[in-house]
Amino acid sequence: MTQLTREQQIAALEKDWAENPRWALVKRGYSAADVVRLRGSMQPEYTLAKNGAEKLWAKVNGGAKKGYVNAFGAITAGQAMQQAKAGLEAVYLSGWQVAADGNTSETMYPDQSLYAYDSVPTMVRRINNTFKRADEIQWGRGINPGDAGFVDYFLPIVADAEAGFGGVLNAFELMKNMIASGAAGVHFEDQLAAVKKCGHMGGKVLVPTREAVEKLIAARFAADVMGVPTIVLARTDAEAANLLTSDCDANDQPFVTGERTQEGFYRVKNGLEQAISRGVAYAPYADLVWCETGVPDIGFAREFAQAVHAACPGKLLSYNCSPSFNWKKNLNDSQIASFQEDLSALGYKYQFITLAGIHINWYNTFQFANAYANGEGMKHYTEMVQEPEFAAREKGYTFVSHQQEVGAGYFDDVTTVIQGGSSSVKALTGSTEEEQFH
């Protein structure tokens, strides 16, 4: 393999940044020489991350079926696989959900960055491993891209990096870990990592605008060092956050009230104007900009979008259609039905329900457990689970055959190959699934 010289690598990178439309709206703040100097002599390939980023970028730039990508948070890898089967075009991976029920600390936390920092990258890797297995099973059955029933399992994953779990170096290393695990996009927020909160909690503390920008630069730099066009999303919590660590940044000074808290934080005037000031500041360094809000408000979304687009025309936006909103208390049925279309028209091309996966999981588990505990036993399993599963087959649902879904047939095939073409220990032969579900 021919290795490019440093000078050739620098020239190639400079040419890509200058000519590739992908980077037309991106500002970096460092040079191609910086990237090449710090990437090492051998450049590994990060295929899942690279393909996912390219796929997601195409989707948010007009390639999505609806004209925008609508995703929701997966709580397990199997749940992400079902999203692919059902026809969604991307997966969201929520730090809130990982904190609650999927972290490497193996306990339950609120969304306050209390879990181990490797938890989200670990879940990204688990999801991609499940996608890979599902694809192997499908390919082993002779189903090819373009065939009826073919599923593109490798959905791009947008992962939550919280506030970076520290400073710019923490953000840099976390981004590298996300990419190595196969994330297509990663978002960073502008809260103080030490006291980070869910966007719909109180007590949020902002860092100075410049510090937040530097974390975005760190994320982009990590992606460039790894040679992957990862989607960088910038989130601001400035609509609700009314505390700030320092008044050193000129961009923040118009909102500083002069009051201090017992911890030494500065009180600031939260709201639309503060959110706009930060969205505009982040836009050159991010691929998509997201303002966390307290209610589903198209008017607010419009004003924010117009301000960002006035400063950075064409910048893509993202929106959290959160379960923390009481939707019917804020909107009527017609407004709810058109909400995502209305957002898309304003430039919000990646929309997601952060916590849908955990709500689906916990609610449906409770409903069945309640009936099973207090009712007529197996009657409730057949009525609430098995018969609806049978009915969902016509939509492409296949987990009725749960042994095959997780790879029993695939590993039967592996066994047969290893044993020279025949085997008496195949798992599906003689199984209840083979006898009763076909």
How many contiguous H segments (helices) and E segments (strands) does the chain have?
18, 12
Is 199 within any annotated ligand binding site? yes
Q: Is 321 annotated as a binding residue?
A: yes
**Backbone torsion region of residue 396, taken as left when φ is above 0, otherwise alpha when ψ lies between -120 and 50, otherwise beta:** left
Tokens of 213: 């920008």
60, 17, 72: which is closest to 220 by C-alpha?
A: 17
Q: How far apart are CA 381 and CA 387, in angstroms?
A: 9
Tell me how far the alpha carbon of residue 109 is from its chain's centroid. 19
Q: Is 402 one of the annotated binding-site residues?
A: no
Residue 409 known to bind ligand: no
Residues 6+ apart with CB under 8 A from 83: 71, 72, 74, 91, 155
Q: From CA 79, how far away is CA 74, in angstroms rounded?
A: 6
What is the maximum span of the chain, computed from C-alpha positions, in angstroms? 79
> Does 200 show up as a binding residue in the annotation?
yes
To the question of whether residue 324 is assigned a binding role by annotation, the answer is yes
Whether 350 and 316 have beta carbons less than 8 Å apart is answered as: yes
**What is the torsional sign of CA 345, 96, 227, 54?**
negative
Under DSSP, is residue 217 helix (H, G, I), strand (E, B) or coil?
helix
3-class DSSP state of 364: helix
Compute the distance between CA of residue 359 and CA of residue 118 in angstroms, rounded to an integer. Answer: 24
Crossing angle of helices 119-140 and 77-86, in 10° steps, is 50
Token pair listed for 320: 């959290």
- Residue 354 counted as an annotated binding residue: yes
Which DSSP category does 62 fall into?
Answer: I
Contacts of 147 (CB under 8 A, 6+ apart): none
Single out the catalytic residue among 198, 248, 291, 312. 198
| Residue 160 among known ligand-binding residues | yes
Rg of the chain's alpha carbons, rounded to an integer? Answer: 24
248 is catalytic: no
**Residues with a known catalytic role:** 198
Tell me the binding residues: 94-96, 160, 199-200, 235, 320-324, 354
Tell me the binding residues for substrate: 94-96, 199-200, 235, 320-324, 354
Tell me the binding residues for Mg(2+): 160
